[in-house]
Amino acid sequence: MDIQYLPGVGPRRAALLKSELEVSTVGDLVRLYPFRYIDRSTLARIADITPGAAFVQFIARVKEVTMPTPKRLSAIVADNSGEIELVFFKGIKWMQAKLVPGEVFLFFGKPAVFNGKMNMVHPEVDKPSSGIVGRDSSGGVSGTLTGVYPSTEKLKNAGITGKVMLKLMAEALSTVLPTVEETLPEYVMKEKGLVPLSYALRQIHFPQDSNALAKATYRLKFEELFFLQLSLLKQKYIRSRGENGIRMPLVGEPFNKCYDALPYTLTGAQKRVIREIRDDMRSGRQMNRLLQGDVGSGKTMVAVLSALIAVGNGHQACIMAPTEVLAQQHFANISRYLLPTGVKVVLLTGSTPAGARRDIHAGLMDGSIGIIVGTHALIEDTVQFRSLGLAIIDEQHRFGVDQRSRLWTKTGAGAPPHVLVMTATPIPRTLAMTLYGDLDVSVIDEMPPGRKPVQTMMFGEGKRDAVYSFMKAQIAAGRQVFVVYPLIFESEKVDYQNLEKGFEDIATKFPLPDYKVAIVHGRQSVQEKAFNMDAFAAGRAHILVSTTVIEVGVDVPNASVMVIESAERFGLSQLHQLRGRVGRGSEKSFCILMTGKKVSTESRKRLELMCRTEDGFVLAEEDMKMRGPGDLEGTQQSGLPIALNIASLSRDGIILTDARNYATHVLDDDPTLETEKNGPLLREIRKDKYAVKDYSKIS
């Protein structure tokens, strides 16, 4: 049923529910779960309220109401334990009329601190008799845990407050529950001890007590993760069964020539990973493998050797990088490695001139080009291969799934190319299971010998001069320095201004002719960027000021200092990536985190962790916890290809593992889910929510 026909909704609110919360049917609404519950059964004493506490409820008498500014209404309220200031910026007139001094109200809100004093902004104000202790005035259901739903300013302005949401939810449940179809087969519920869907839906919105809520939550989380894993694993199963891959039986001449000429011995981890890839490529199954390895772990060589297996078997390989700078660097490195092999490698980016481009297209078609390195330009329609055998995608998080799938249309090989996705972002296990549940995973968990730990320090603005002196000392010792500024889409304008200001400041403090400072950012032309990058890479510039364009891949072993401005604005994983740009040479390296004036305690803690550890996985886990759905006030998790409604990848790792194991068990028994008892499962995973693109079938 369309949501607009639910009593209390109508077309206007329906449009908002759709645009703000993606709720278009009554069924969608009951699947919009509270992201928090408030225990309305307890009353606090004002003296016991502490700043930073969760929502509290208390009864107090209005003492005094003032308007310090025309836009701010301040009310002091007191009980016999103490007093607290309540602040209103909206609906001031109405509130002023309501809060008559001497009257007693029931207040409900979240304490905050302003100018060192505790207050409460926009608390709910009720008559003490309404909606208190065990009676839920809105949902009409007894119980003391009240759900809090995701909301936005627009929804609130349209009158869809928390209370209204509860009313709508009660309506929706009475419409939906009588006919709701159970999504799990009987046997699954029994084996896993899960409560029925109708019970779970009722309890998740209007819990009887915390025990019932726990059961409901568990059921819904398990269901969500189970279907997701089932869908991913089924895909993987089909692929591993199939004979749809290009068979590459040989190691091949080019591989051996390159291997014999290597300037170093491969690490054990590199060798192991190459063996895994080689086994995939000769298996006759299409490889879909994720290669994880921290910054500097030596993924490029693995990519090169894998590409050479394809070439050695009469096919071609492409290596796709997320930025032009990175593609160029890859191309330079790879060309060097390929010298002993005689394999022809070319570079194709957005700035490749038309003439050269035509030659490349021809060379790819006639097979004279063995390996092509490039950017997104590689997935343009005009690029076609004689026989694309392997597609390597570096730093995949910057490539959309759809972009990846377009590679499939390019091969003349008669079967989809093998795919190797490389990422330097250490992905927590739980996330990897979800994002890449359908991929096989290889990990390079060993660094090449000789990498030095990077000493990380955090400084405020007051220490800037000292930091500059330190940079000068390092430059005097022959080293180079990165200075990185944040650049975030939402604040792009200001960020660019800061970058410019920072650059001018450094150019003044590090004047010519003693110092040369280069700057690289996204608004430069490709030539300008390359010119400045080259100046730094070749050692002609001492300092490189940039945005995060240097985040991935850039290799300047002589750079020993990484200064990160406004470090609190970066995620931990991103900081870790940046830090990986130094510590590549033989000298001791440093990462300096500069912090802005206002740094929250939380940010400070994160940066301190950054100073303490160089373990990318620890940082990634922490990042995920910090950015977990809980922080987002019930809005969608970002960065996931699949939006989870209730389960959290950072907190529900145990349920996820259990769901995955159980999904494996179910598929072992019935790989195609075609038996009658699994009918409901097949029906569920065909829904859009759990859809996983089958890359091998896109054509």
Binding site for Mg ion (CB under 5 A): 553
User: Of 336 and 501, which CB lies nearer to ligand ADP in the complex structure?
Assistant: 336
Residue 649 contacts residue 632 (beta carbons within 8 Å): no
Q: Is 299 in the site for ligand ADP (CB under 6 A)?
A: yes
Measured between its terminal Cα atoms, the distance across the chain in Å is 36
User: Measured from the CB of residue 300, what is the shortest distance to Mg ion in angstroms?
Assistant: 5
Write out the binding residues for ligand ADP, residues 575-634 only, by CB under 6 A: none
Strand stretches in 209-341, DSSP E: 288-293, 316-320
The minimum distance between CB 23 and ligand ADP, in angstroms, equals 43
**In this chain, which of 314, 448, 596, 680 binds ligand ADP, going by CB under 6 A?**
448
| DSSP structure class, residue 557 | T
Q: Whole-angstrom Cα distance, residue 254 to residue 312? A: 6
- 258 near ligand ADP, rule: CB under 6 A: no
Nearer to ligand ADP, 143 or 298 (CB): 298
Tokens of 531: 């010119």
By the rule CB under 6 A, 298 interacts with ligand ADP: yes
Residue 296 interacting partner from Mg ion, ligand ADP, none (CB closer than 5 to 8 Å by kind): ligand ADP
Q: Directed axis angle between helix 253-260 and helix 324-338, to 10°? A: 90
Of 113-121, 295-303, 356-364, 540-548, the segment contacting ligand ADP by CB under 6 A is 295-303
559 scored as a contact of ligand ADP (CB under 6 A): no
Compute the distance between CA of residue 420 and CA of residue 496 in angstroms, rounded to an integer.
Answer: 35
Per CB under 6 A, 309 contacts ligand ADP: no
> By CB under 6 A, is residue 293 in contact with ligand ADP?
yes
| Contact call for residues 303 and 270 (beta carbons, < 8 A) | no
Give the whole-angstrom CA distance, residue 202 versus residue 208: 9
DSSP 446: -
Distance CA 465, CA 462 (A): 8
| Among positions 270, 405, 566, 648, the unique one binding ligand ADP when judged by CB under 6 A | 270
Residue number with CB closer to Mg ion (404 or 581) = 581
Q: Which amino acid is at 629?
A: P
Cα–Cα distance measured from residue 656 to residue 401, given in angstroms and rounded to the nearest whole number? 23
Which range of residues in 260-268, 356-364, 432-440, 531-539 is near ligand ADP by CB under 6 A? 260-268
Question: In the block, which residue shows the tokens 């002993």?
Answer: 340
C-alpha span between 420 and 117 (Å, rounded): 56
User: Which is closer to Mg ion, CB of 486 or CB of 553?
Assistant: 553
Among residues 145, 295, 484, 559, the one that binds ligand ADP under rule CB under 6 A:
295
Burial of 665 per CB tally in 10 Å (0-12, 13-18, 19+)? exposed
Whole-angstrom CA distances from 240 to 3, 237, 272, 585 are 42, 5, 21, 42
* Token pair listed for 566: 């406004």
CB nearer to ligand ADP: give 131 or 553.
553
Least spacing, CB of residue 584 vs ligand ADP, in Å? 6
Residues 320, 405: Cα–Cα separation, whole Å: 13
Residue in 300, 306, 349, 442 binding ligand ADP, rule: CB under 6 A: 300
Query: Residue from 86, 213, 301, 433 that binds ligand ADP (CB under 6 A)?
Result: 301
Quick one: 372 or 424, whose CB is closer to Mg ion? Answer: 424
Determine which residue in the list 144, 217, 267, 548 makes contact with ligand ADP, applying CB under 6 A.
Answer: 267
Q: Of these partners, ligand ADP, Mg ion, none, which one is at the site of residue 555 (CB under 5 to 8 Å by kind)?
A: ligand ADP
**Span near ligand ADP by CB under 6 A; candidates 275-283, 291-299, 385-393, 470-478:** 291-299
- Residue 293 interacts, among ligand ADP, Mg ion, none and using kind-specific CB cut-offs from 5 to 8 Å, with ligand ADP
* Structure token pair of residue 77: 């309220």
Binding region for ligand ADP (CB under 6 A)? 264, 266-267, 270, 293, 295-301, 424, 448, 555
